Amino acid sequence: MKIAITGSEGFIGSRLARKLTQAGHQIVPIDTAGASPVDLLDQETLTHALSGCDAVYHLAAAHRDDIFPRSIYYDVNVTGTRNVIQSAQKNGINRIIFTSSFAVYGLSAKTPDEMTPPAPFNDYGQSKLEAEYVLKKWAEASPEHKLTILRPVVVFGEGNRGNVHTLIDQIARQKFLMIGSGKNKKSLAYVENVVDFLAHTLGFPHQIGLYNYADKPDLSTEEMISLIYTRLSVALPKIRLPYMAGLAGGYMFDGLSKVTGKRFPISSVRIQKFCADTTCSAEACRQTGFTPSFSLSDGLNRMIESDFIQSIRPAKTA
């Protein structure tokens, strides 16, 4: 098959492109980076790029916590999705696989499954939900249209510079300060498992499929941190900061970011997400016959080995 991937140069997209290429598919990269940049907001160029494709993996998104103005989330995530749909229609493409986000459920959804009503708490989650609505309307317009929506939790892995990397980096440099009790549970997803599941969905027969994705069993924040400290051979600190004190610090950095235009590793949203129970049911994806190749511990250990231990090993042997 000839398959387009939006966000093909990104963390998940680049691995998916490699996976599908190895499976014998022809990949059309759609990204603002790379040799032939394509912007989702450039309808004409996007339509030309999708010519001859059989399916589209739509992964591109504005997703950082600190994007300003907030309208960028809606420009990229909603208008960009509309443009993908229009370009697909003009090229007769009937299969779209979309990576949405666990953020559509909000912070207080307990352990949502796919039937849980969405309640996003930020513009990223809201824009992803609106993109889902646009795609569902497209899918419902024709029985030939096939739509798969994946709502992954936090995805981590080698080379990623997201929240999990920031956490490991702070621990490695002994700059980490524990906020809250650490008893809250976290659903996480290792990137290689996510990519395998995305590839698995390519042949799904149903018109609309919706799946949460998380690798089970869930870890508590305390368990995850202990695993990282142990793998890095660093002693666990005894000092912890109460949640409300940490949140106040996050709001302070929010203010500094707006005034200075700089991005900081601490924000109120990140503190809230760090201390919240963010778990989800992932039973539906398992019922498709998919079995992940790696456990969460495997994934964390692989990331630590690749991005941290290997980088300091030469210094130790010198």
Q: Which residues pair with 155 in a beta bridge?
A: 189
Distance, CA of 96 to CA of 93 (rounded, Å): 8
Distance, CA of 312 to CA of 42 (rounded, Å): 43
Report CA-CA distances (Å) from 133 to 23, 74, 81, 236.
Answer: 31, 13, 10, 45
Find out whether the peptide bond into 69 is cis, omega within 30 degrees of 0: yes
Residue 117's identity, in one-letter code, is: P
Distance, CA of 96 to CA of 113 (rounded, Å): 22
Exposed/middle/buried for 79, CB within 10 Å: 0-12, 13-18, 19+? Answer: middle
Distance, CA of 148 to CA of 53 (rounded, Å): 17
Judge whether 73 counts as a catalytic residue.
no
Q: Which of 57, 73, 105, 124 is catalytic?
A: 124
Beta strands 178-179 and 146-152, pairing class: unpaired
- Report CA Rg, the chain: 20
The answer to whether 135 touches 96, Cβ cutoff 8 Å, is yes
Token digits of residue 87: 């370009």
Q: Which residues pair with 6 in a beta bridge?
A: 30, 58
Catalytic residues: 124
